Amino acid sequence: MKNMTIDEVIEKYGIPLHILKEYESWGLCGEVRKVMDTWAYDDSDLERLSMIMTLHEIGFNNEEVENYMRLLMEGASTEGVRVKMLNQKRDSTLDEIHFKEKQLDTMDYLRNEMRK
């Protein structure tokens, strides 16, 4: 695939501009090249951007995303640390789900009490 400009990436993949700027600011875009005063993204950049978006979608904050991406780019030797990060996020998400379930149970109880 040919290199894409920032506008082409935004349009084709729906990657928000702030994600692209964040990615560039981390210095993780070694493959991104300046072509005629605009960034040019290649396939490997798009794969990394996809991972960044996925991490944001599952609840990672900017600092966590940057840390994860730096580890990812270091290679397979960091897999254990990355799995630990994902497990911690998963545990946190499960805690949130359980809390919400308790809230729903309480709401249902109150609704049932009002119906009596």
Q: What is the pTM of this model?
A: 0.74
Model confidence over 90-108: pLDDT tens digits? 999 999 999 999 999 999 9
Q: Which of 7-16, 31-40, 78-87 has the lowest mean pLDDT?
A: 31-40
Report the C-alpha gap between 63 and 89 in whole angstroms: 13
Residue 93: name the closest of 59, 64, 51, 61 by CA.
59
